[in-house]
Amino acid sequence: MFQQANFVKLAIANLTQALVIGFILVVVILALFLFEWRMALISLLTIPLSLVATLLVLYWQGATINTMTLAGLVIALGAVVDDAIIDVENITRRLREERLRNAAEPGEGRSTREVILSACLEVRSPIVYATLIIVAASVPVFLLAGLTGAFFRPLALSYTLAIAASMAVALTVTPALALLMLRRARIERRKSPLVGWLQKGYTAGLSRIIVKPVAAYATVVALTVLGVAVYPQLGQSLFPAFQEHDFLIHWVSPPGTSTAEMERSTTRISKELLAIPGVQSAGAHIGQALLGEEVAGVNLGEIWISLAPARITPGPWTGSTPSPTATRACSVRSRPTSTSGSRRCSPAARSPS
């Protein structure tokens, strides 16, 4: 039987899964590129702090946590850590340089506190400017009207709040954590081999592009022309294509059709639908009562079809044995308080075909 809650639960479960997978990927990337668990931990702490700050602001505004709000947080997951990475990477680089300088010239150098403060001030303006650019790019979404604006505004709000919170965390919490965790860490001995390998490849490619930039220009022009040519072929729709397991069959018979005839035809249609492999259940109703949301006569019928979860099963066209099907029964139930009837078809015991 169709239940709207199933769609909401599925959407929330998918978003939660995407959030967890995104967090795991961020952890892996940080470990490979930073190659220092203290630096990675400082950057990772930005994610929960930014998300919690976003949720607190939404709570103070009286907003609710829905699928669009969660989608905004999922989209912002990779962006909230950027500011912290920029900050902590510059801090680490300056600390390494200062310690190497102190090792070459003992007795002359700045304290760890001064190095961290100087490193944070170096990247403060780029962090603020980058955040303001992202926020400015989200402003047009708040100006949308109608259904489109109501649909996307919660997503843009949660995304923008998460980005702003990550900037605040990078400018305040990240330097404090760096002072606590990197003060005595021997970070000058740990460098990511992956970063070195990528830098060598980038340097080699960049040197060729600088010597012969015509190839780079030609590539950019070709990609631009290709994008312009493909753009008209892209579909434009407010809602994406959902993998929906429930759908509605709606039909209207000629006026004057009796209740018995509608019950007979509806029962027959339901049984034929249930005979199709993959159909899990079917629930139908005829007409609408006077107090219903849509008043209609008995010549109006609707059937809700619920499909089984998608599974890859071999079919007869592959030369293998088809998968078992289900035998289902359809029962008719009348409602004497109105001029309409209802029926529900549900799965019965499974038997091999």
Stretch 83-88: mean pLDDT: 86
- Structure tokens, 172: 């305040």
Cα separation, 189 vs 56, in Å, equals 40
Q: pLDDT value at position 148? A: 80
- Here the contacts of 266-272 (C-beta below 8 Å, separation 24 or greater) are 266/301, 266/303, 266/343, 267/330, 267/332, 267/343, 269/303, 270/303, 270/330, 270/343, 270/345, 271/330, 271/345
Q: pLDDT value at position 79? A: 83
Cα separation, 47 vs 81, in Å, equals 6
The structural domains of the chain, ordered by start, are 4-191 (1.20.1640.10), 193-226 (no CATH), 246-309+324-351 (no CATH)
Q: pLDDT value at position 165? A: 92
Q: Are 141 and 153 in contact (CB under 8 A)?
A: yes
Stretch 325-337: mean pLDDT: 37
Q: What is the mean pLDDT of the chain?
A: 78
Stretch 75-80: mean pLDDT: 84
pLDDT above 70 (res 60):
yes
Which pLDDT tens digit goes with each residue over 155-180? 999 999 999 999 999 889 989 988 88
Q: Which amino acid is at 299?
A: N
Q: pLDDT value at position 220? A: 92
Name which of 65-74, 248-257, 323-332 the model is least confident about.
323-332
Q: pLDDT value at position 109? A: 72
Cα separation, 115 vs 188, in Å, equals 14
**Portion of the chain with pLDDT greater than 70, in percent:** 80
Give the up-direction half-sphere exposure of residue 255: CA atoms within 13 A in the CB hemisphere: 1
Q: What is the 3-state secondary structure (H, E, C) of 102-167?
A: HHHCCCCCCCHHHHHHHHHHHHHHHHHHHHHHHHHHHHHHHCCCHHHHHHHHHHHHHHHHHHHHHH
Q: pLDDT value at position 62? A: 87
Q: pLDDT value at position 239? A: 62
Which pLDDT tens digit goes with each residue over 201-211? 889 888 888 88
Cα separation, 86 vs 175, in Å, equals 11
Which pLDDT tens digit goes with each residue over 6-20? 777 877 888 888 888
Using a cut of 0.75, tell me whether the model's pTM lies above it.
no
Q: DSSP label at 91?
A: H
Which pLDDT tens digit goes with each residue over 134-143? 999 999 989 8
